[in-house]
Amino acid sequence: MIPSSHTDPALMARLTARMLLDIKAVHFNAEEPFTFASGLRAPTYIDCRKLISHPRIRATLMDFMAAKVMAAAGFEAFDNIAGGETAGIPFAALVAERMALPMSYVRKKPKGYGRNARIEGDMSPGQRVLLVEDLATDGGSKLSFVEAIRETGATCHHTAVIFFYDIFPGAEDRLAEAGVTLHRLCTWWDVLAEARQSAAFDAQTLDAVERFLKAPLEWA
């Protein structure tokens, strides 16, 4: 069903952060930092994939995302919803269902056989595509997906995520330079605020996390 109510974005952010904490998708550990694919070490880790196993939470967040994107971009702004391989695929399907639109997905690279395609599903020249992902860090992977979408002759000027790190300078600028607007439900700052409010972690851990968020490269 297409969402017809629009919650205040600040409330959306706070509730999204609370839900991520409730299902233990948020991990803080300053003593044994996590290592990202980029090699960056951090006391934080977010696992948005856990959301697909929690029906009430995933339904609420997908309502939030559909409503927020339509309010910002327009109610007739899209013709196709594309998910990024792999984490974005289930969320794209759920958003497409809510917006009553076709769904497709974008591979990280050509599959190497058959049509050697990066786009799966039907995507036509001229279609206006919304790229849906679970999260965004520095925006790099989004640009690769957008490039693949545009190679079909479709357009892609918007991407929506559940979670945006919002700690790496230039991430949104990089997307904007490519003509892409980023829509997000919450950031690390929202999660940190909710974690402090709910005492989800001890103060020492949260202080260490805040130091990382303010200067991630220096912390690492």
Is residue 165 assigned to a domain? yes
Q: At what angle do helices 9-22 and 55-73 cross, to 10 degrees?
A: 160
Burial 38-58 (b: 16+ CB within 10 A, else e): eeeebbbebbbeebeeeeebb
At residue 39, the pLDDT reads: 76
Is residue 3 assigned to a domain? no
Per-residue pLDDT reduced to its tens digit, 10-48: 999 999 999 999 999 999 998 888 887 667 889 999 999
At residue 112, the pLDDT reads: 63
Q: Is 125 helix (H, G, I), strand (E, B) or coil?
A: coil
Is residue 26 assigned to a domain? yes
Per-residue pLDDT reduced to its tens digit, 97-139: 999 999 999 999 887 665 668 999 999 999 999 999 999 998 8
Contact partners, residue 169, CB within 8 Å, separation at least 6? none
Is residue 171 assigned to a domain? yes
pTM here? 0.94
Is residue 84 assigned to a domain? yes
User: What is the torsion angle, in degrees rounded to the nearest 10, for the CA atoms of residue 5, residue 81, residue 93 and residue 25?
Assistant: -80
At residue 139, the pLDDT reads: 82
